[in-house]
Amino acid sequence: MNEYDDKWEDRINALLDGELSADDAELLKAQASDDRELARAIIESYQLHQAMDQINVERAPDSLTKRLNAIPREHRSKPAFSLFQPRWAMAIAAIPLMVITISLMRPDTPSASEIAQARQEMAIAFAYLDKAAVITGREIESTVGHTMANAVTGSVNKVIQSENLTSKEKEA
């Protein structure tokens, strides 16, 4: 197809598409009256245009419509995470159960604050026992004599001192 053809083809198609200006249409008409080939091309183009009008978009078969409508069901995108999926619901329900089980199995290890409080209470108790030993010793002494008092308070003091030593060792 040469440049001449392209030029007239453009105009013929523009004419059929309803896009040719009135001036260009007149020019085409004038040219066609002197050019039999061009006149024939215009007539044949009209005939093709009329034939094209008889062709419509084809109706898709019902079988295809069914296949197309089934696509969302067959190609449902899987959500990455959903709390409502059965496996996730089961997993979430199991979490409290696991926490309770672990806490029951856990060895009874006191916290740092509990240890500090226990030490304080032990120190108070030993101080109390010291005082009690002195008082007891005085009462026994006044009742049964100094020798007996020493025997009793001495054994008490030994127990207290040994307990105190054990406690300090543990602290160390």
Neighbours of 53 (CB within 10 A): 8
Residue from 18, 21, 22, 54 that binds other proteins (CB under 8 A)?
A: 54
CB 33 within 8 A of CB 39: yes
Of residues 136 through 155, those in contact with other proteins by CB under 8 A are none
Alpha carbon distance 38, 35 (integer Å) = 5
Alpha carbon distance 33, 27 (integer Å) = 10
Alpha carbon distance 28, 40 (integer Å) = 12
Give 19 or 114: the residue with its C-beta nearer to other proteins: 19
Give 74 or 108: the residue with its C-beta nearer to other proteins: 74
Residue from 3, 4, 55, 168 that binds other proteins (CB under 8 A)?
A: 55
CB 15, min distance to other proteins, A? 12
Of residues 10 through 39, those in contact with other proteins by CB under 8 A are 10, 12-13
82 binds other proteins (CB under 8 A): no
CB 33, min distance to other proteins, A? 20
Residue from 56, 103, 111, 147 that binds other proteins (CB under 8 A)?
A: 56
104 binds other proteins (CB under 8 A): no
CB 107, min distance to other proteins, A? 53
**HEC-encoded secondary structure of 80-107:** CCCCCCHHHHHHHHHHHHHHHHHHHHCC
Neighbours of 148 (CB within 10 A): 13
Alpha carbon distance 76, 82 (integer Å) = 14
CB 140 within 8 A of CB 152: yes
Note the residues at the interface with other proteins (CB under 8 A): 1, 5-6, 9-10, 12-13, 41, 44-45, 47-48, 51-52, 54-61, 63-65, 67-69, 71-72, 75, 77
